[in-house]
Amino acid sequence: MNKPDIKKLSIIAITWPIFIESLLHMSLRTADTFMLSQVSDEAVASVGVANQLIMFMFFLFQLISTGASVVIAQYLGAKKYDEIKFLTGNAIFLNLIFGIFIASTIMIFSRQLLGFFSLEPELFEQANTFLLIVGGALVFQAVSVTMATIIQTHGYTKETMLVTLVMNVLNITGNYLFIYGALGFPQWGVPGVAISTAVSQFLAMIAYAILLNKRVNLKIGWAEFINWQKERIMKILRIGIPSSIFMISYSFSQIVTTGFITLLGTQMLATRIYTLNILFLVMILGISLGRGSQIIIGHLIGAGKMEEAYKQGLRSGRWSIIAALGVTVIVTTFSKPLLNLFTNDPEIISTGILLLLLGFLLEPGRCLNLVYGGILNGAGDARFVMIVSLAVVWLFSVPLYYLLGIHLGYGLIGIWIAFIADEWARGLFVYFRWKSKAWEKKAIVKHDLPVVEDTA
């Protein structure tokens, strides 16, 4: 086979396009929220609830894509290229089938899924319309997320960033046309936003396929799709299943939390959605360094450079906390103008300002969680991350959400304090796991390549 094209990796070169790409992904959701806020707070709340379910289903696709990216990264580091095409083809085909199943399930059971939230009738119908359209398009996301992570694993993060940029422009243009009725388009509001989202995701999938074939030089044919081997699939699932269970569990816990917040009323639900959209600007720093470090560390571990991987993980953690606190200063300084972009409701604004100030407590813990959770996955230690997350979220965090927010009556502020405690608890567990170096025994290629310690 042709050797895949691999870029020379450095943490800055890998991470900055991931940061921009993540920013674009998050800003896409923020743009949807902002443009729908010009329709009504009810439209924002309905789409926000539907998006909770969409994100929950989206995390299911990480089972294959995350597992494949970690295994491929270690094989690239070990210079074992023969299996890369088959790992890629198997991963894309598996997620395609999975995507068809998930999209069909959402479209058939949309009303039952939304029934959990006890929405008012008008909100329910808007959320159901959005869910039917965007949920049906999840098949495009299933394939896209697999191809994008594999392209990034080869070092081509700048290229996936450009695809996301174009997708954002198309989506925002579609939103504008359908919300404001520009150029003779119908004013469809929530359904229009859903249609523009689905179309942009389909076009992104086509772009990723071209990149994988032309730029990365992975020409995937039918043989690579269907030539499955048990050992190959098990290596993907060894990482993918724990990573996916962790993400599904956390996403489901946020659905449960959203259910708690709906008990506080539409106003508090809208406050949470607006505040999270602003804080996404901070969160993407941790996500980007976590993803970039995961790629670098996967290559280093595949090459047997354990000590270099360990030091890189510690550097990534420090950088993410410093950067996140710096952006939090900016966000809190301009918190009122930022919230005014979404709403003029004084109670939403005053509560949102307080939640943003609490970001100084939230973000360091969240950075630990995102960075060290990501690099432990990259090292092959995904099972530990899963166990910690399941235990902390369901035995500690979710009960605390209900206790502080509902039972003791502290409302959204109480739920936010529980959110902070959750991030810190999980973050400290994964940080000390990285410090212990227990992950060194989890490398995918450890039996195939002798470990060479970096003594520098």
Return the axis-axis angle of helices 84-114 and 41-60, rounded to nearest 10°: 140
Cite the DSSP H helix spans in 115-156. Answer: 121-136, 138-153
CA 168 to CA 163: how far, in whole Å? 9
Residue 122: inside a domain, yes or no? Answer: yes
Per-residue pLDDT, 454: 36
Reported residue count of the chain is 456
Residue 307: inside a domain, yes or no? Answer: yes
Residue 355: inside a domain, yes or no? Answer: yes
CA 381 to CA 446: how far, in whole Å? 13
Residue 287: inside a domain, yes or no? Answer: yes
**Taking Cα atoms as reference points, which of 312, 425, 325, 303 lies closest to residue 374?**
312
Residue 332: inside a domain, yes or no? Answer: yes
What is the reported pTM?
A: 0.74
Into how many domains does the chain fold?
A: 1
Instruction: List C-alpha distances in Å: 63 to 22, 205, 242, 290.
Output: 20, 18, 8, 17
**Structural domain span for residue 420:** 11-442
Contact between 418 and 338 under an 8 Å Cβ cutoff? The reply is no
Cα dihedral sign, 423-428-429-431: positive
Judged on CB neighbours under 10 Å (0-12, 13-18, 19+), 307 is: middle
Residue 452: inside a domain, yes or no? Answer: no
Residue 1: inside a domain, yes or no? Answer: no
Residue 202: inside a domain, yes or no? Answer: yes
CB atoms within 10 A of CB 455: 5
**Taking Cα atoms as reference points, which of 210, 55, 86 lies closest to residue 144?**
210
CB atoms within 10 A of CB 8: 7
Each of the 456 residues of the chain gets a pLDDT tens digit; together they read 455 555 556 777 788 888 888 777 766 666 666 677 666 666 777 777 777 777 777 767 777 888 888 888 888 887 877 778 888 888 888 889 888 998 898 888 888 877 777 667 777 777 788 888 888 888 998 899 899 989 988 888 889 899 989 988 888 888 888 877 778 777 777 788 888 888 988 999 999 999 988 888 777 777 767 777 777 788 888 888 887 787 778 778 887 888 888 888 877 888 888 888 788 777 777 778 888 888 888 888 888 888 888 998 898 888 888 888 888 898 889 888 888 887 888 888 888 889 888 988 888 898 888 889 888 988 888 899 999 999 999 999 999 999 998 888 888 899 999 989 999 999 999 999 999 999 888 877 654 444 434 333
